[in-house]
C-alpha cells in the first residue's frame, strides 16, 4: 500500500465563511481519526495537493471539516467544488497539541485570519472537558468584520459559553463593529493572566505569529509554553520530500505544532 | 571475519555472463563514447571494464528514479549494480534513512532497494574532484555491499558482505579460492595508498574534517554570498548528488500521482501561499544545500549527507567548488 495514496472523501456540505474562506464538511470513505492539531493532505485530482488542519472536533468521527482560504491553484479549485464532489484525503500527519501539558493551567488561544481553523478544533477539544483547565481565553483577529470566520458559532456559542472568555479585533472596522479595532496583539492588553504558568496556542499569518510570540514573551509567557503552528511549504507530509525542513526538523513530522523553545534558535522560522 | 576469495579476471567475466540469465545487470562498459554505465547483455558484457573511480550516474538513479508513479503497482526485475564505490554506498545509507524511516516506509524505494544486489568495488583511481578522504571517509566500501571487489594486479579479491552476495557468487559458478593473508595485506596497502593520493590531490584545500562545527559557526559569513554569485540555479548539483532526496508529488489524472525530483535550489521550493519565503535570496538557497548536508541531516538522521564524491563540482555551471567554499569558510 502506497503511503502517498489518498482515500476518497465526498464533500457533504460547503459553508461560506468569508469572501475568500469556505468550510468543507467531508465524509471520507473510512473515518480519519486525528488528534487536534494534526493535519491532512487534500488532493484535487490532476491539480494538486495541499495540507490543511481539520477545523472540527476530533470527537466527531465520521465527518471532518476543513476551512480553506483561497490563495492559489489548489485552493481555487477547491473553492469551485460543490456538494457531492469527490476529493482525495490522506493523513492524519504530524503531532498535534500536547493537551496533557495544558491541564490545570490557564490557556490562551491566539488566532488570526484563517489560522482560526486549527484553533477551532483545539477549542472544541478543550470545551469537551473545560474543568481540566483553569481558564480558557480566546483572542481572535481578522482584517475586517467581513473576514471573520465561524461568525455564528462565535456569537451564538462561544461568546455565550461560561467557560470561555472571548476577545475579538479587526484591523479596519466598519459601522457594524462594536468590538476592538487594531491588530490582534492589542487584545492582550485587555486582561491579565498568570503569565508564568499560562500556555498559549498561536496560529495565524507569519507576521502575526512573529509579533504575537514576541508580545507573549514580553508579557512573561515561557518559551516552552508557547505553542506555534508552523506553516511551511509541504508536499508529502511524511518526512520524505524535504520541503517543510526547518533546521533539524521536518515540520510535517516533528510539528506542525512546536513549542517556541524547540525552534527559537533556528533563523528561518518567521518567514 | 568476512570471507574473502580471489579469482582471475577472466573467470570473473565468465561468471558475470552467467548472471545475465537471471538478473538485469548494470556495469561500466567501454563504448565509442568512452566508458558508459549500461545494462549488460551477451554482446557487450565482454567490454565490461574496471572503472577506477565512481560511476556516473550515481546509484540514486536506480533506487529512486527521477520520476515515478507512486500509486500504481510495480514489479522491478531483480537487478545487480556493479562498479558501485564506497561513496555511493554511504549515500545509499542516507537515502535509506529518509525512505525507509520506519514511521513511513516508501514502498517504491523499498521494493527497488530489496530488488537490488550491490557489487561494489574499491576505488583505485580517484578523480580530481574526489574528496571523500578529506571528510574522514575511506575510498573503499566498508559496509552496505553484497559483494565487494578489489582489483589487484592479476586477480580480483571478492569480499562477501551478505548471504545474498554469497548466493550470487554461487550462481556465477566460478572457481573460488580463499584469499591468503599476503593478498589481503596487498589490498590493504593499496587502499591506504589511494587514501593518501586523495589527500595529496586535495592539498590546496584546507578545511577541517569536522564540517558540522565549521558551518555552525559561519551561518552569517560573507562567503555564502561570494560563492553564490556564479550560481545560475540550474539544480545540476542536487540532481547529480547521490544523497539529495527532495521531491515534489505531482497530481495526475484519476488520483494517480508521481514523485518527481525537486531541488532546494529552486526559488519556489519553500515558498508558502501568502508569498512568504524563508529563502528568498539565491545565497540563502545556496547556503541551505550545505547546511542540509553537513548540519541538518546530521542532526535529523545522524548521517552526514555529503560523501565527497565531487559530482556536484563536476556538474556546476558556475564552476563552484565545494572544497573552495569550505576552505574560504575555514579561513
Ligand atoms: C500544516 C499546515 C496546515 C494548514 N492548514 C490550513 C488550513 O486549515 N486552512 C487553510 O486555508 N490553509 C492551511 N494551510 C495553508 C495551505 O496549505 C496553503 O494555503 C495551500 O497549500 C496553498 O495551496 P495553493 O495551491 O492554493 O497555493 P499556491 O500558491 O498556488 O501553491 C502552489 C504550491 O505551493 C505549495 N505551497 C504553497 N503554499 C503553501 C503552504 N502555505 N503550505 C504548504 N505548501 C504550500 C504547494 O505545494 C502548492 O501546491 C496549512 C498549511 C500547513 C503547512
Ligand atoms: S554534495 Fe557534491 S560531493 Fe557531496 S555527495 Fe553530493 S554530489 Fe557528492
Ligand atoms: S550546479 Fe552550480 S550553478 Fe547549478 S544550482 Fe548547483 S551551485 Fe548553482
Ligand atoms: S512535507 Fe515532505 S518532508 Fe515534510
Q: What is the pLDDT of residues B150-181, one digit of tens each?
A: 998 889 999 999 999 999 999 999 999 999 99
Q: What is the pLDDT of residues B104-119, one digit of tens each?
A: 999 999 999 999 999 9
Q: Is the pLDDT of residue B53 over 90?
A: no
CA distances from B315 to B137, B194, B319 (A): 22, 24, 8
Yes or no, beta carbons of A250 and B300 under 8 Å apart = yes
Rounded to an integer, the average pLDDT of B51-78 is: 90
The CB-based long-range contact list for A73-81 (8 Å cut-off, 24+ gap) reads: A73/A47, A73/A48, A74/A42, A74/A44, A74/A47, A74/A48, A74/A49, A74/A50, A75/A50, A75/B273, A77/A44, A77/A47, A77/A48, A78/A22, A78/A24, A78/A42, A78/A44, A79/A22, A81/A11, A81/A14, A81/A24, A81/A44
Q: Which chain B positions have a beta carbon within 8 Å of A43's beta carbon?
A: 251, 255, 257
Q: Which chain B positions have a beta carbon within 8 Å of A21's beta carbon?
A: none
CA distance A11 to A82: 7
Yes or no, beta carbons of A46 and B253 under 8 Å apart = yes
Residue nearest to atom 6 of ligand 3 (CA): B237
* Complex ipTM value: 0.92
Q: Given this model, what pLDDT does residue B273 score? A: 80
DSSP for A142-185 reads ESSGGG-SSHHIIIIIGGG-TTEEEEEEESS--TT--SEES-GG
Could you confirm whether domain A99-229 is CATH 3.40.50.2000?
no
Hey, how many other C-beta atoms are within 10 angstroms of the C-beta on B50? 17
Measured in whole angstroms, how far is the alpha carbon of residue A234 from the centre of its chain? 16
pLDDT confidence bin for B31, thresholds 50/70/90: confident
Please give the distance, rounded to the nearest whole angstrom, from the Cα atom of residue B160 to the centre of ligand 2. 27
Q: Is the pLDDT higher at B276 or at A168?
A: A168
Q: Given this model, what pLDDT does residue B204 score? A: 96
Yes or no, beta carbons of B101 and A240 under 8 Å apart = yes
Q: Given this model, what pLDDT does residue B307 score? A: 97
Q: Which chain B positions have a beta carbon within 8 Å of A75's beta carbon?
A: 273
Q: What is the pLDDT of residues B208-254, one digit of tens each?
A: 999 999 999 999 999 999 999 999 999 999 999 999 999 999 998 88
Q: Is the pLDDT of residue B275 over 80?
A: no
Yes or no, beta carbons of A243 and B246 under 8 Å apart = yes
Yes or no, beta carbons of A72 and B246 under 8 Å apart = no
Q: What is the pLDDT of residues A59-90, one digit of tens each?
A: 999 999 999 999 999 999 999 999 999 999 99
- Extract the C-alpha cell encoding A142: 481578522
Q: Given this model, what pLDDT does residue B323 score? A: 98
pLDDT tens digits in sequence order for chain A, 271 residues long = 799 999 999 999 999 999 999 999 999 999 999 999 999 999 998 899 999 999 999 999 999 999 999 999 999 999 999 999 999 999 999 999 999 999 999 999 999 999 999 999 999 999 999 999 999 999 999 999 999 999 999 999 999 999 999 999 999 999 999 999 999 999 999 999 999 999 999 999 988 999 999 999 999 999 999 999 998 999 999 999 999 999 999 999 999 999 999 999 998 788 7
Asked if residue A233 has its Cβ within 6 Å of ligand 4, the reply is no
Domain extent listing, chain B: 4-201, 211-330
CA nearest B297 in A: which residue? A248
Q: Is the pLDDT of residue B2 over 80?
A: no
Q: Given this model, what pLDDT does residue B1 score? A: 58
Q: Is the pLDDT of residue B291 over 70?
A: yes
Question: What mean pLDDT is reported for chain B?
Answer: 94
Ligand 1: which of A47, A50, A147, A236 to mutate, most ligand atoms within 8 Å of CB? A50
CA distance B99 to B104: 8
Whether B172 contacts B292, CB under 8 Å: no
Ligand 1: which of A51, A55, A117, A121 to mutate, most ligand atoms within 8 Å of CB? A51
Note whether A205 contacts B: Cβ–Cβ < 8 A. yes
Ligand 2: which of B93, B215, B293, B318 to mutate, most ligand atoms within 8 Å of CB? B293
Domain extent listing, chain A: 7-93, 99-229
Neighbour-count burial of B130, counting CB atoms closer than 10 A to its CB (0-12 exposed, 13-18 middle, 19+ buried): buried
Q: Is the pLDDT of residue B137 over 70?
A: yes
Q: Given this model, what pLDDT does residue A46 score? A: 87
Please give the distance, rounded to the nearest whole angstrom, from the Cα atom of residue B278 to the centre of ligand 2. 24
A7-93 CATH: 2.40.30.10
CA distance A90 to A39: 9
Please give the distance, rounded to the nearest whole angstrom, from the Cα atom of residue A50 to the centre of ligand 1. 5
Q: Given this model, what pLDDT does residue A93 score? A: 97
Please give the distance, rounded to the nearest whole angstrom, from the Cα atom of residue B130 to the centre of ligand 2. 9
**pTM for the structure as a whole:** 0.94
Amino acid at each position: 500500500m502506497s503511503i502517498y495514496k489518498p482515500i476518497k472523501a465526498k464533500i457533504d456540505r460547503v459553508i461560506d465563511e468569508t469572501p475568500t474562506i469556505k468550510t468543507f464538511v467531508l465524509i471520507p470513505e473510512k473515518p480519519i481519526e486525528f488528534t487536534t492539531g494534526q493535519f491532512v493532505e487534500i488532493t484535487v485530482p490532476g491539480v494538486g495537493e495541499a495540507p490543511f488542519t481539520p477545523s472540527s472536533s476530533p470527537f466527531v468521527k465520521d465527518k471532518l471539516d476543513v476551512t480553506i482560504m483561497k490563495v492559489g491553484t489548489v485552493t481555487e479549485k477547491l473553492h469551485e467544488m460543490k456538494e457531492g464532489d469527490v476529493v482525495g484525503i490522506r493523513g492524519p500527519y504530524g503531532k498535534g497539541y500536547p493537551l496533557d501539558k495544558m491541564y490545570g493551567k490557564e490557556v490562551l488561544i491566539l488566532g488570526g485570519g484563517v489560522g482560526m481553523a486549527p484553533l477551532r478544533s483545539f477549542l472544541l477539544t478543550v470545551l469537551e472537558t473545560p474543568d481540566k483547565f483553569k481558564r480558557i481565553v480566546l483572542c481572535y483577529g481578522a482584517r475586517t468584520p467581513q473576514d471573520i470566520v465561524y461568525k455564528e458559532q462565535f456569537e451564538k456559542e462561544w461568546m455565550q459559553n461560561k467557560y470561555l472568555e472571548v476577545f475579538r479585533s479587526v484591523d479596519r472596522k466598519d459601522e457594524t463593529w462594536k468590538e476592538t479595532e487594531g491588530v490582534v496583539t492589542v487584545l492582550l492588553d485587555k486582561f491579565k493572566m498568570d503569565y508564568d504558568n499560562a500556555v498559549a496556542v498561536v496560529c495565524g499569518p507569519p507576521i502575526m505569529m512573529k509579533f504575537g510570540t514576541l508580545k507573549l514573551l514580553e508579557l512573561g509567557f515561557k518559551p516552552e509554553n508557547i505553542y506555534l503552528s508552523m506553516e511551511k511549504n509541504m508536499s508529502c507530509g511524511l518526512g520524505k520530500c524535504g520541503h517543510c525542513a526547518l533546521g533539524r526538523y521536518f515540520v510535517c513530522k516533528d510539528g506542525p505544532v512546536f513549542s517556541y523553545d524547540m525552534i527559537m534558535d533556528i533563523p528561518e522560522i518567521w518567514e | 571475519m568476512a570471507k574473502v576469495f580471489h579469482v582471475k579476471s577472466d573467470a570473473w567475466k565468465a561468471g558475470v555472463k552467467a548472471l545475465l540469465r537471471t538478473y538485469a545487470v548494470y556495469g561500466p562498459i567501454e563504448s565509442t563514447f568512452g566508458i558508459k554505465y549500461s545494462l549488460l547483455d551477451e554482446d557487450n558484457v565482454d567490454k565490461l571494464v574496471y572503472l577506477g573511480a565512481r560511476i556516473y550516474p550515481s546509484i540514486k538513479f536506480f533506487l529512486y528514479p527521477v520520476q515515478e508513479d507512486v500509486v500504481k503497482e510495480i514489479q522491478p526485475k531483480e537487478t545487480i549494480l556493479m562498479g558501485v564505490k564506497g561513496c555511493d554506498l554511504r549515500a545509499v545509507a542516507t537515502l535509506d534513512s529518509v525512505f525507509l524511516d520506519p514511521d513511513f516506509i516508501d514502498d517504491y524505494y523499498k521494493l527497488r532497494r530489496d530488488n537490488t544486489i550491490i557489487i561494489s568495488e574499491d576505488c583505485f583511481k580517484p578523480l580530481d574532484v574526489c574528496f571523500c578522504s578529506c571528510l574522514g571517509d575511506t575510498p573503499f566500501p566498508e559496509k552496505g555491499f553484497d559483494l565487494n571487489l578489489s582489483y589487484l594486479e592479476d586477480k580480483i579479491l571478492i569480499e562477501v558482505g551478505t548471504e545474498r552476495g554469497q548466493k550470487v557468487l554461487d550462481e556465477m559458478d566460478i572457481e573460488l579460492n580463499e584469499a591468503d593473508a599476503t593478498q589481503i595485506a596487498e589490498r590493504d596497502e593499496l587502499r591506504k595508498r589511494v587514501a593518501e593520493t586523495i589527500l595529496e590531490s586535495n592539498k590546496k584545500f584546507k578545511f577541517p574534517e569536522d564540517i558540522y562545527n565549521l558551518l555552525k559557526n559561519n551561518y552569517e559569513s560573507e562567503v555564502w554570498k561570494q560563492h553564490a554569485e556564479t550560481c545560475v540555479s540550474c539544480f545540476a548539483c542536487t540532481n547529480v548528488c547521490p544523497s539529495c532526496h527532495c521531491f515534489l508529488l505531482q497530481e495526475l489524472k484519476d488520483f494517480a500521482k508521481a514523485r518527481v525530483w525537486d531541488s532546494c535550489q529552486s526559488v519556489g521550493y519553500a515558498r508558502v501561499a501568502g508569498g512568504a519565503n524563508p529563502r528568498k535570496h539565491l545565497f540563502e538557497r545556496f547556503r541551505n544545500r550545505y547546511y542540509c548536508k553537513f548540519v541538518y541531516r546530521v542532526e535529523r538522521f545522524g548521517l552526514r549527507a555529503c560523501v565527497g564524491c565531487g559530482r556536484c563540482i563536476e556538474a556546476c555551471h558556475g564552476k563552484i567548488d565545494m572544497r573552495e567554499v569550505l576552505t574560504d569558510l575555514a579561513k
